[in-house]
Amino acid sequence: MCYEDIGYDEIDGKSEEFINTIIEVKVNEILTNKKYQEEIRTSLKKEEAIKKIIEKEMKDKQIRSIIRKETEIYLANLIMKSIDEAVFLPVDINEDPELKAYIPFHYLADYLISKGYSGILYKSTRMNKIGLRGKNLVLFNKEDVTYIPGSMNVYFYDGRKYKKVLNDTEK
């Protein structure tokens, strides 16, 4: 759930790249298809003939399935980016003593637990608050994971600064 490093332009760019690829593939198929070449060549209204061929090709189940899948990926990325921006806001206990800003996150976590997820990796709101970047890992069940030595650092935040507490070489 960490979409901090992914921008809307990047999401749009991948979608546009996909659309251009589909168009290129279909145009090449049409141009190299002897039946279609003959249809266009013998037609009095070439533009209409081409339009009819394109419409027929775009109704192809395989193309529609690919477009549907890519659309789902595009929409999922947009939704995840929006959730990242809406739920994982920089929070400071001085500004929000009851930490009400975390309520949407708690609802999201409860939902993901109910769906069988093991945890969430998301951007660190506190690090973000002070202009740094970091990621948090919330495990719903510690039995579902195995720690890999050297894979994490632990920090303590005293309200003003972060202090590295532990890594594998400081046990």
Residues 55-105 have pLDDT tens digits of: 887 777 777 788 888 888 888 888 888 877 776 666 667 777 787 877 887
> What tokens appear for 162 in the block?
């972060």
Closest CA to 30 of 39, 19, 17, 20: 39
Residue 171 pLDDT level (bands cut at 50, 70, 90): very low
For residue 2, pLDDT over 70 is answered with no
Per-residue pLDDT tens digits for 120-170: 887 777 777 677 777 788 888 878 778 787 777 777 767 677 777 765 555
137, β-bridge pairs: 121
What is residue 150's predicted lDDT score, i.e. its pLDDT?
76
H/E stretch holding 136 reads strand 135-139
CA 124 centroid distance within chain: 17
**Closest-CA residue to 112 (of 134, 85, 151, 83):** 83
What is the three-class DSSP state of 62?
A: helix
**pTM for the whole structure:** 0.52
Between β-strands 154-157 and 135-139, what pairing exists: parallel, antiparallel or unpaired?
Answer: unpaired
Contact 144, 112 (CB under 8 A): no
Can you tell me the mean pLDDT for 29-55?
A: 86
Q: What is the pLDDT of residue 115?
A: 92
